[in-house]
Structure 1
Amino acid sequence: MWEASREALNAFQFSDNEEDLILGKAFGQLHSRACLSHEVLCKVLKKFPEVLGCHLDEELKSNIQLQEKEWGIKGQSLRSLLLCNPKVLG
């Protein structure tokens, strides 16, 4: 689905980064509770591409909520945690 959507965007002559940003928003990957910037999200995906196989509601959102509720990790601390150890997402 991602690749088919990327091909459709080719007609508009976006850069690869712009396409990734657009697709990330379209597929709901850039609107997480952690408020990850595009830059941070790219770093996390490079370190832990398996996150793309995780279910958004059942795994990713619940694991981020767990970090916030159980451990009090949120905001910049959560961003730092995700960059150092993205496996907490899935």
Structure 2
Amino acid sequence: MRRDLEQGLPRLPTYDDAEEEEDDRQALGKARTAYVTADDLDEEDAALDEFNALPADERLRRVVQHLRDEHHYCFWCKFTYPDDTMDGCPGLTEEDHD
């Protein structure tokens, strides 16, 4: 235990080093994050309202299709494929993956 104590941090975690880089401060949990409310959050989004009005199964189908088309990712395989052929993926639905 004595060795661990001597090998440990050379200063208290609350020590504030003015020369410490921002990345180090963030990694050590010392960075302060300022949250600002976005102005556009209060505006109506017709496309979002239309999407939310769809049944849950249709929303899921559209999200799965978007992931496949834009990111070559299969929600059911939990895998990102290198190209749009998605070789090895059995299909679009959960049942195809059983």
Give the TM-score normalised by structure 1.
0.26
Considering fraction of residues, name the structure with more strand: 2
Would you tell me which structure has more helix in proportion to its own residues? 1
The structure showing larger relative contact order (alpha-carbon pairs under 8 Å, at least 6 residues apart) is 1
Q: If you compute each CA radius of gyration, which structure gives the higher value, 1 or 2?
A: 2
